[in-house]
Amino acid sequence: MFLGFVAAALCGTGLLMLPASGAVPGSASFTDALFTAVSALCVTGLSVVETHVYWSTFGHVVILVLIQVGGLGVMTFASIVGLAVIGRFSFRSRLQAVAENRSQDLDSTPRVIGGVVLISLVTEAVIGLLLALRFWLGYGKDPGEAVWLGVFHAVSAFNNAGFSLFPRNLEGFAADPLVCLPVAAAVIIGGLGFPVLVQLRRAWRKPLRWTINTRLVLWGTLILLPAGTVFLALCEWNNPQTLGALSGPERLLAAFFMSVQTRTAGFSSVEVGQMEPLSWLGMDVLMFIGAAPAGTGGGIKVTTFAVLVYAVAAEVRGNEQVTALGKALPAYAARQALVVVLVAAGVIAVSTGALMAMSSYPMDRLLFETVSAFGTVGLSVGVSTALPVAGELILVVLMFTGRLGPLLLASALVLRERRFRYRLPEERPIIG
């Protein structure tokens, strides 16, 4: 999977360096093309150039394809191509798709991949149609241009990418629910994760059959989205540079939209760089948590956060076993969650420190940018475009790490599992 993402990123970089990809004569630099390709493939949305004016229509198509491939997953996409070419899945393809989609049944892999593709295409088609009609009838765009804008933003939204073809992203539509709500719906659906979407499609009337993963994702989403909306509304309500310039209902719409984007999409209906530092801190937390596993979102994943919350609750209560929603969680689940959080926090801390050493921006802005890159969110306070090449490469590594996941990336680099034939004597240190 790691090598597959690297190969796809290099192919995208090569295509974006072609003269046809640029809106002006000449080709893009290697770093600009690499950053954009990785950002699109890792469905992040960060950019060091202005997408709508820097790239040509061909470049926009390349970015759109990279977003779709990255959202579906490189291994899943390769399996689809293999099925189309030779008419069947190879055993290796099944193993890779199982790892990428977090499936547990090897025999059902073709069915799972079919469900993933169907959900993706149907959601993107519906959202694209709604947006195209709005751009055509509401904003006077030509039918062809309206369809292209609708399709691009629908694919970008469902895959939690956040790339936009409008100046200043979607700030011009902050007060338009017919644009903001379809985009937010696509982001939420994509952020639920394909295992959850496939199960809901098959058994949405039978909640008792839902797995613990599905229930944790749904409960986490229902809690975090309203909490983020209320938090951002309270922090930004009277800020004239963000929500303060809107009416009451429009402020609630913008607060909800921005709360949705912290689930790892990168669209913005207000200028993030003008938000209050307290808002940035809260958004850092939401971006760090992220969306659901095996989906188009990033972050440590809402299930990882939920497992740690239940582990803390069990320890405080003195329970030997960690339980969640009427189920007992295996001991290794809490260990894996702890490792993911610590590795992610360490990577973000080191990256933020490195950026502080090579730029003059304050820590709160740099921390926001690194968390956004690691969480494959794409929201920016305007730092990415002003970083030196070394800083851009740090963000590239962060986007790769966030998309693949700390444990997966570490496993791919180690390439083997260590087994010990002995056990050391136990001794308990003082904790806390």
pLDDT of residue 203: 81
Of 2-11, 99-108, 121-130, 326-335, the range with the lowest mean pLDDT is 99-108
pLDDT of residue 234: 96
Residue 63 has pLDDT above 60, yes or no: yes
User: What is the SS3 string spanning 258-314?
Assistant: HHHHCCCCCCCCCCHHHCCHHHHHHHHHHHHHCCCCCCCCCCCCHHHHHHHHHHHHH
pLDDT of residue 96: 58
Say how far apart CA 389 and CA 271 lie, in whole Å.
25
Cα dihedral 226, 231, 234, 235 sign: negative
Of 124-133, 329-338, 374-383, 406-415, the range with the lowest mean pLDDT is 406-415
pLDDT of residue 330: 87
Of 40-54, 141-155, 240-254, 399-413, the range with the lowest mean pLDDT is 399-413
Q: What percent of the chain has pLDDT above 90?
A: 52
Residue 106 has pLDDT above 50, yes or no: no
Q: Domain extents for the chain?
A: 2-306+329-414
pLDDT of residue 65: 93
CB atoms within 10 A of CB 153: 28
Tokens 């195209």 sit at which residue? 132
Say how far apart CA 243 and CA 234 lie, in whole Å.
10
Residue 75 has pLDDT above 60, yes or no: no
pLDDT of residue 86: 46
pLDDT of residue 207: 83
pTM of the model: 0.88
Q: Which residue has the higher pLDDT, 168 or 368?
A: 368
Q: Indicate the pLDDT class of residue 129, thresholds 50, 70 and 90.
A: very high
Closest Cα to residue 406, out of 335, 345, 330?
Answer: 345
Q: Which residue has the higher pLDDT, 292 or 417?
A: 292
pLDDT of residue 95: 57
Q: Indicate the pLDDT class of residue 137, thresholds 50, 70 and 90.
A: very high
pLDDT of residue 402: 86
- Report, in angstroms and rounded to the nearest whole number, the Rg of the chain calculated over CA atoms: 21
Neighbour-count burial for 358-391, b at 16+ CB within 10 Å, e otherwise = ebebeeebbbbbbbbbbbbbbbbbebbeebeeeb
pLDDT of residue 337: 87
pLDDT, mean over the chain: 86
Q: Indicate the pLDDT class of residue 150, thresholds 50, 70 and 90.
A: very high
CB atoms within 10 A of CB 17: 17
Q: Contact at 8 Å (CB) between 170 and 258?
A: no
Q: Which residue has the higher pLDDT, 5 or 228?
A: 228
Which of the residue ranges 20-24, 94-98, 133-137, 397-401 has the most confident prediction, judged by mean pLDDT?
A: 133-137
pLDDT of residue 80: 58
Say how far apart CA 6 and CA 226 lie, in whole Å.
37
Residue 61 has pLDDT above 80, yes or no: yes
pLDDT in tens, 347-387: 999 999 999 999 999 999 999 999 999 998 989 998 988 89
Residue 417 has pLDDT above 70, yes or no: no
Residue 391 has pLDDT above 90, yes or no: yes
Q: What token pair was written down for 32?
A: 């600009």
Q: Which residue has the higher pLDDT, 258 or 108?
A: 258
Residue 318 has pLDDT above 90, yes or no: no
Q: Contact at 8 Å (CB) between 195 and 101?
A: yes
Q: What integer is the mean pLDDT of 191-216?
A: 84
